[in-house]
Amino acid sequence: METRILGKSGLKVSALGFGAMGMSFGLGPAKDKKEMIALLHAAVERGVAFFDTAEVYGPFANEELVGEGLAAYKGKVVIATKFGWEANPADGGKWNALNSRPEHIKQVAEASLKRLKVDAIDLFYQHRVDLNVPIEDVAGAVKELIAQGKVKHFGLSEAGAKTIRRAHAVQPVTALQSEYSLFWREPEETVMPTLEELGIGFVPFSPLGKGFLTGKIDANTKFDSTDFRSIVPRFSEENRMANQALVDVVRSFAARKKATPAQIALAWLLAKEPWIVPIPGTTKLERLEENLGATRIELSSDDVRDLEEASSKVKIEGARYPAFHAALVGR
């Protein structure tokens, strides 16, 4: 698979990464561990060399899964994880308290190193901006971890442009991870000009619109109570019905290219900028192979323009996050 560089610091990753969260958290009940480890192996064998997890996914279960599943590929893959929440398994994995105090960041790093079975964390993101801790202190704490050889690269997730600049002045930011897809294009206006200016890579999560752009979700889909989409306004039955028009646009375009809607959604991201690396997740081998097929689809500048013009005519209904989570992004 083609490789791409995230940031001026030279972090080389596969053009398409793998978001591991849904294997054990957030998108329904945790899947069978042996099956998920086999899928991680299959991803590596097919050229994926960039994997994303976080301590709070579970909490801890997803890091443990990734650590065990990728142990045999030590030094051959890049693993990103995240700090910034009070991760407590006893509370059922609720995300209800931020904590980016420097001493906590260092504690999380030590614990993540053990769970991931690595000598250094390749990419360490602040999961959400904590307004109670100056971002300069956060960047400073990660800078110390980098100096100690425990972390290689610093990242931010869902941060705003001003925060990115302030952090970058203390410790160069290698990558920003935020939601970005044909279903959510706000980053084009809010952060991408800053990323390009500073030479920071962009890692879009939910590049398939939390599954919506695959065309496999409609107004009749039922979400498990443990599936985060069950509380997302954009995924209410009424809004799914209204937003189906966007899927129709992507499906029509896919038919012209003899591809699937998911492949077109990913190919669009790959065509946008050479420093964009999407991290779609899946729990199924056939979906992994479908997603990887996107790397073989060439979209011209005219294709990108036509797809954007057509999709922009669809008014997307519903917020992308419930109120609590919405308040934590773009800060």
321 is catalytic: no
Q: Report the distance separating Cα 217 and Cα 36, nearest Å.
A: 23
The full DSSP string for 233-271 is GGGSHHHHHHHHHHHHHHHHHHHHHTS-HHHHHHHHHHH
Catalytic residue among 57, 73, 180, 321: 57
Q: Report the distance separating Cα 62 and Cα 277, nearest Å.
A: 21
Instruction: Judge whether 297 and 271 are in contact, CB under 8 Å.
Output: no
**Residue 128 tokens, joined:** 């959400």
Q: Which helix (H) or strand (E) holds 82?
A: strand 78-83
The full DSSP string for 106-139 is HHHHHHHHHHHT-SSEEEEEESS--TTS-HHHHH
In angstroms, the Cα distances linking 11 to 78, 160, 216, 306 are 9, 22, 34, 32
Give catalytic residues, as residue numbers: 57
